[in-house]
A and B are shown apart, each in its own frame.
Chain A
């Protein structure tokens, strides 16, 4: 159906969508994580070791790799509660680099050479995971827990005084994001046929964040849009050759000026899905202004 070039591109796109979701999850609670390449590495290495050395099936290995990353995410999530904004970004970035350095120095995982010979990731498999994760967020963000995520993002203190256990929401969102990054790492490892620490540098984490910001960080649909634009656009810009990077940078700067909220926003989706549209203040009779009269 697809040429192998197209197929490769779509596999990468699916993996990028997953990594975007992994950043979206903590970001939806207001936590900026720049360490998700670290969680991705954990998922990649654990799943690779499981399939290579222990003969575990690929799906089971992906889930176990995801769980390992998720547990690390929860462990990182607790100290992260004390940090905000740039400080949290720096700390998570450092975490990612620590993970990479550990794999670089571990002889069991092949050091700088990494691991080779994993295989089995197919296009349908990647997109089934994308579908599952999208469905998960579709349901989650409409659930009471999802509402609590939005509220935590908007005002933590007021959220707590409305009864939200903010610790649980934030650590949970961090763990969920790390799990998804871990699964994406496992799929990536078994698609590339090899992994090495240099694949999981902090630039990868930055890209994941860019997908989310570009797509729109107020709704999970932004992850799909952002990853799609970011993965496919460079392919169509090949004719620009060496200027591709500059052109791409210019697009990002333009986006930040023209539409800093990202391509998709919750308001936009509300307009598109609410057939009657939101009630405008003008439509309400003036006497409503006076309570109880």
Chain B
């Protein structure tokens, strides 16, 4: 068996007296769309913050492609192939949509003097072609010269995804991508997630919209008070009594 792309072992995080994540084991195989679900305050976002080293873990480890991420500086996380978005959209307030993609592309520049050449020269052709392809893919090309934070909510979410994809991640962490979307927008999101997966990007998403989770995920992990209470395919989890009690009861 090939080792999982992402492997969390005994991952633990306290905030004072609050046990936000408790000895969490989680494996995501390459090519999957996996979901992390659970009620508000269950510790889902904290798991993302531990993976991307926004927060240090108290205990446990994060392995990506068999490599321990626990001691990497934050800016190297994306270089090894983990990109993410944020629950509360976090865009660069003074930058255009296109600039968000260009910043994402910067990760793949080789160190040295090339990073001081204006983006119009040097590797401009390749960068621009890539940016155009990516922005077309996310239906943002017409918006490229607009300041990203003037866009409507749904488009801002896609700018975040574009910025993360521009780094060419192997794993994309999406924190509640469907939040605030209407049913037709979430259906579009489901399609988008599938096409992203078809681009060889593994996805781990946090999502409250059960329709999205049931439609698109291969594997679901349910958290409650930081603890994993159920795991399996969407249909398995839908029938799990503990998961139903904690979370799904009113929704599924």
Chain A residues close to B by CB (< 8 Å):
139-140, 142-145, 147-148, 150-151, 153-155, 157-166, 218, 266-267, 270, 274, 278-281, 283-284, 288-293
User: In chain B between 132 and 162, which residues have their CB closer than 8 angstroms to a CB of chain A?
Assistant: 138-139, 142-147, 150-152, 154-155, 158
Residues of A within 8 A of B143 (CB): 279, 281, 284
**In the complex the two chains form, what is the Cα distance from A284 to B145 in whole Å?**
13
Q: Which residues on B sit within 8 Å (CB–CB) of A144?
A: 102, 105-106, 109, 114-117, 119
How far is it, in angstroms, between the C-alpha of A151 and the C-alpha of B107 when the chains are bound?
A: 13
Q: Which chain B residues border A279 with CB–CB below 8 Å?
A: 142-146
Note all chain A residues with C-beta closer than 8 A to B91.
Answer: 154-155
Least Cβ–Cβ distance between A293 and chain B, in angstroms: 5
Does any Cβ of A come within 8 Å of B167's Cβ?
Answer: yes
Contacting pair A143 B146 (CB below 8 A): no
Minimum CB distance partner of B151 in chain A: A281
In the bound complex, residues from chain A placing their C-beta under 8 Å from that of B75 are 159-161, 163-166
Q: A139-B118, A142-B119, A147-B99 are in contact. Are A291 and B138 (CB under 8 A)?
A: yes
A162-B115 in contact (CB<8A): no
Cβ contact within 8 Å between A158 and B92: yes
Q: How far is the CA of A270 from the CA of B164 in the complex (A)?
A: 25
B195-A284 in contact (CB<8A): no
- The verdict on A281 contacting B146 (CB below 8 Å), with A162-B104, A291-B139 known, is yes
Q: Are B142 and A283 in contact (CB under 8 A)?
A: yes
Q: B210 within 8 Å of A by Cβ?
A: no
A166 vs B77: C-alpha distance in the bound complex, in angstroms? 13
State whether B119 touches A147 (Cβ < 8 A): yes
Q: Please, which residues of chain B bring their CB within 8 A of the CB of A165?
A: 73, 75
* CA–CA, A139 and B113, complex, Å: 13
A54 to chain B, nearest CB (A): 32
Q: Provide the bound-state CA to CA distance between A140 and B154, in Å.
A: 33
Segment of B35-43, B185-193, B201-209, B212-220 engaged in the interface with chain A: B185-193
Flag if A292 contacts B191 (CB, 8 Å): yes
Are A288 and B139 also in contact (CB < 8 A) when A143-B117, A147-B106 are?
Answer: yes
CB proximity of A29 to chain B, nearest CB, Å: 12
Task: Check if A164 sits within 8 Å of B90, measured CB to CB.
Answer: no
Q: Are A150 and B185 in contact (CB-based, < 8 A)?
A: no
Listed A/B pairs (28) with beta-carbon separation below 8 Å: A139-B118, A142-B120, A143-B115, A144-B109, A144-B116, A144-B117, A147-B95, A150-B92, A155-B92, A157-B90, A159-B75, A159-B103, A160-B74, A161-B74, A161-B75, A161-B84, A163-B106, A163-B107, A163-B167, A164-B75, A164-B103, A165-B73, A278-B145, A278-B146, A281-B152, A288-B139, A290-B185, A291-B191
B116 to A, closest residue via Cβ: A143
Interchain CB contact (< 8 A) of B92 among A154, A289, A291: A154
Is the CB–CB distance between B163 and A162 below 8 Å?
yes
**Residues in B neighbouring A150, C-beta threshold 8 A:** 92, 94-95, 99, 103
Q: State whether B90 touches A140 (Cβ < 8 A).
A: no
Is B189 a contact partner of A291 (Cβ separation < 8 A)? yes
Max chain A C-beta neighbours (<10 A), residue from B74, B102, B155: B74
In Å, the complex CA distance between A165 and B152 comes to 30
Leading 6 A-B pairs by shortest Cβ distance? A163-B107, A292-B191, A142-B118, A154-B92, A291-B188, A160-B74
Nearest-CB residue, chain B, relative to A169: B75
Assess whether B79 is interfacial by the CB under 8 Å rule.
Answer: yes
A151, A270, A274, A288 interface centre (most CB from chain B within 10 Å): A151
Q: Taking CB as reference atom, which chain B residue is nearest A158?
A: B90
Question: Which residues of the partner chain B approach A161 to less than 8 Å between Cβ atoms?
Answer: 52, 54, 74-75, 77-78, 84
Question: Please, how many angstroms separate the alpha-carbon atoms of A91 and B188 in the complex?
Answer: 51
Instruction: List 5 extra interface pairs beyond A161-B84, A162-B106, CB under 8 A.
Output: A144-B114, A150-B95, A155-B92, A162-B78, A278-B146
